[in-house]
A = this chain, B = another copy of it.
Amino acid sequence: MGEPTNNEDEENNHSEDDDNTTLNFQTKFVPWSEMEIQNELNPRSLLQHKNGKRQSIIVIASLIDKIPNLAGLARTCEIFSAEKLVLPHMNVVEMEEFKSISVSAEHWIPVEACPPTELAQYLSQKRQEGYTIVGLEQTSTSVMLPDYEFPERCCICLGNEKEGMPPELLSLMDTCVEIPQLGVLRSLNVHVSASIMIYRYTEQFLRRK
């Protein structure tokens, strides 16, 4: 039997990372796994650092309001080794509610802030850097996820929990992708939707290797 999986919300499972709470999170955070530190306590981190590199997928959560969704996204992004998670503002990661759900993921994944008011400019800059901007949204022209081939460098832009993607931002997406839904309810949770997309991206690139 291997390690148990799916351990959720281990609020009391404080690791050595907790010593870092005095760091200034307002600056861009460099996770241990990218530092030149021999970290024998975290062999997987060492392995990741030496042999692996992050996937070129940036998850943009600037429009997300709820802290549990943001914290869950930090955990999922870390586990799939996304390049970066973009939060609406950096003080999110100092909130107790965030920390209890993220289980320290923010220490291992680069996070940066982009408020909604600066998102259009941020997307434009990322496009200039060679990223494709993929909106997770149901539109009249959106592509179904099973049919979508992700470009290697891409930004996944998530809509707001209630309002979805604002119309003025929709026009800034290179493409919109939606998840096929068969039921009565209108939509999946945004953290779940994003996780499915990040998994799909990961699967696609694992297959190509």
Classify chain A's interface size: 35 or more
Q: Which residue of B lies closest to A6 (CB)?
A: B190
Give the residue of B2, B5, B164, B183 whose beta carbon is less than 8 angstroms from that of A5: B164
Which residues of chain B have C-beta atoms less than 8 A from A9's C-beta? 66, 161, 189
Contact with B along A121-148 (1 / 0, CB 8 A): 0000000000000001111101001100
Which residues of chain B have C-beta atoms less than 8 A from A189's C-beta? 6, 8-9, 72, 75-76
Supposing A184-B45, A185-B79 touch, asked if A164 and B202 sit within 8 A by C-beta, the answer is no
In this assembly, does A19 line the interface, its C-beta being within 8 Å of a C-beta of chain B? Answer: no
Distance between Cα atoms of A92 and B186 in the complex (Å)? 23
> Across chains A and B, which 10 residue pairs bring their CB atoms closest together, nearest first?
A4-B164, A8-B161, A6-B190, A81-B182, A79-B183, A2-B138, A78-B183, A108-B184, A5-B187, A146-B203
